[in-house]
Amino acid sequence: MSKPILVLENLHAAVEGTEILRGVNLELPPGEVHALMGPNGSGKSTLANVLMGHPAYEVTAGRILFKGEDVTELEADRRSRLGMFLAFQYPVEVPGVSMLNFLRQSLNARRDQDLKPREFRTLVDGKLKLLGMDKAFARRNLNEGFSGGEKKRNEVLQLALLEPELAILDETDSGLDIDALRIVSESVNSMRGPGIGFLVITHYMRILDYLEPDVVHIMLGGRIVKSGGPELAGELEAKGYDSVRKQYGEPAPQEEATAP
Ligand SMILES: Nc1ncnc2c1ncn2[C@@H]1O[C@H](COP(=O)(O)OP(=O)(O)O)[C@@H](O)[C@H]1O
Ligand SMILES: [Mg+2]
């Protein structure tokens, strides 16, 4: 079997001195779509940020291997150049910066070459067509006045252009997520293939209505407490996160060693 795209070994990470990830283990082979699910506050977004090398998060133990290479200490832009992609849960608005400019800069950085504006526009228009999006969309300013669904389409467009080998999609837990998840899932389903692995992070239990993950992981208290096939998402939908909490319990606080 070919090398996994992503391996997490006993990953621990802290924000402002508080340990949030407490030993995450995961293996994602190429071509697979993994869903990471879990209640609010379980550490899903923290994991996404740690994977992309967000400077506010400190890895305190364990390793992140991308295509066999230890990237635990690499800067975010190095990771993205290597082929890791993170769609932000709350994409920023950048008034006055056109999406075309933003996308071209991202792509040039990823490919380490300068595409001519015209070559780039041809490429973008091809992707827009493929995704069934309007040409005018990419001519707008970055996320300015975008609806939730449009922000998601923007992420999907970035994803299609950058052609990463690992895509980490962190879905919002807010009210727009059903629509957003549908948009993202449809594009994930259309982009999946042997050269790319997906880690789709969601709180939304009915994910199976949209996405066909190969593996479902459940995160609780900064650890993956259970992994399984798509049936796991169905089980969650039926029983809810409370049943997971009951079964695994929130990890107990560290107890002081007592003399026997
Ligand atoms: N930048 C931060 N500063 C302080 N605490 C944080 C920060 N980011 C996350 N946390 C805390 O880490 C825990 C996990 O949060 P998060 O990873 O956002 O969970 P999820 O995405 O699963 O809802 C929460 O208790 C949250 O308050
Ligand atoms: Mg989150």
- Cα 43 to averaged position of ligand 1 atoms, centre (Å): 6
Q: How many structural domains comprise the chain?
A: 1
Is the pLDDT at 251 greater than 60, yes or no? no
In tens, the pLDDT along 64-118 reads 999 999 999 999 889 988 999 987 645 566 667 778 888 888 888 888 888 888 9
Cα–Cα distance for residue pair 19/235, rounded to 1 Å: 29
Cα–Cα distance for residue pair 178/212, rounded to 1 Å: 15
| Segments forming the whole domain that contains residue 35 | 6-92+164-248
Burial of 53 (0-12, 13-18, 19+ CB in 10 A): buried
Assess if residue 136 is contained within a domain: no
Q: Is this prediction's pTM over 0.95? A: no
Assess if residue 172 is contained within a domain: yes
Assess if residue 109 is contained within a domain: no
Instruction: Give the residue with greater pLDDT, 143 vs 16.
Output: 16
**Mean pLDDT for the chain?**
85
What CATH number is attached to the domain comprising 228? 3.40.50.300
- Cα 119 to averaged position of ligand 1 atoms, centre (Å): 41
**Cα separations in angstroms, 19 against 210, 244, 256:** 33, 21, 17
Residue 145, amino acid: G
Strand partners, 9: 63
Rounded percentage of the chain residues whose pLDDT exceeds 90: 44
pLDDT at 252: 45
In tens, the pLDDT along 32-76 reads 999 999 998 999 999 999 999 999 999 999 999 999 999 999 998
Assess if residue 65 is contained within a domain: yes
CB 231 within 8 A of CB 207: no
Assess if residue 119 is contained within a domain: no
Assess if residue 206 is contained within a domain: yes
First to last CA, the chain: 48
Is the pLDDT at 258 greater than 60, yes or no? no
pLDDT at 249: 74
140: how many CB neighbours lie within 10 A of its CB? 16
pLDDT at 34: 96
Ligand 1 lined by 221 (C-beta under 6 Å): no
Assess if residue 116 is contained within a domain: no
Ligand nearest to the CA of 15: 1
Is the pLDDT at 145 greater than 60, yes or no? yes
Assess if residue 81 is contained within a domain: yes
Q: In sequence order, which ranges of 112-220 are alpha helices (DSSP H)?
A: 117-130, 148-162, 177-191
